[in-house]
């Protein structure tokens, strides 16, 4: 699975791959663990949390020793982006998809852009 970023005017829309190796955290245990206890994540990696409906979703960096970029997505639209610091970062927004990426991977993503998971 990969994560694709689409941006620009409709008549000239461009696309970039934010992550070519995306895991999904589908179980409650996988969602609670997230990236905790990992030493790092490789470039091109993403962890996606999919939910049935948009609701406030919180990410924390407890036991995560590296910075990440986090995207909160409602439908296909990015509603919030935040760089979370190691161990102490916290972020919250309403979304039905939350994605964790290596720090810097979402540098060119802005709220209002389209980001989608593709099989």
Integer Cα distance of 61 and 82 in angstroms:
12
Pairing verdict, β 45-60 and 77-84: unpaired
pLDDT of amino acid 9 = 85
Give residue limits of the domains in the chain.
2-118
- pLDDT tens string, the chain, 119 residues long: the values are 999 999 988 888 899 999 999 999 999 999 999 999 999 999 999 999 999 999 999 999 999 999 999 999 999 999 999 999 999 999 999 999 999 999 999 999 999 999 999 98
Task: Identify which of 26, 5, 28 has the alpha carbon closest to the alpha carbon of residue 77.
Answer: 5
pLDDT of amino acid 19 = 98
pLDDT of amino acid 38 = 95
Topology of domain 2-118, CATH: Jelly Rolls (2.60.120)
Q: Are residues 91 and 80 in contact, defined by beta-carbon separation less than 8 angstroms?
A: yes
pLDDT of amino acid 11 = 83
Q: Are residues 111 and 82 in contact, defined by beta-carbon separation less than 8 angstroms?
A: no
Q: Model pTM greater than 0.85?
A: yes
Q: What is the DSSP letter of 84?
A: E
Q: Are residues 4 and 119 in contact, defined by beta-carbon separation less than 8 angstroms?
A: no
């Amino acid at each position: 699975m990969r994560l694709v970023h689409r941006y620009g005017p409709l008549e000239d829309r461009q696309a970039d791959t934010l992550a070519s190796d995306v895991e999904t955290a589908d179980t409650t245990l996988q969602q609670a663990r997230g990236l905790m206890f990992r030493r790092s994540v490789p470039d091109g990696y993403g962890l996606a949390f999919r939910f049935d409906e948009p609701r406030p979703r919180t990410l924390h960096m407890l036991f995560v020793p590296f910075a990440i970029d986090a995207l909160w997505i409602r439908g296909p639209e990015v509603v919030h982006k935040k760089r979370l610091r190691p161990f102490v970062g916290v972020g919250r927004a309403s979304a039905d998809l939350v994605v964790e990426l290596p720090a810097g991977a979402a540098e060119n993503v802005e709220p209002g852009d389209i980001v989608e998971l593709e099989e």
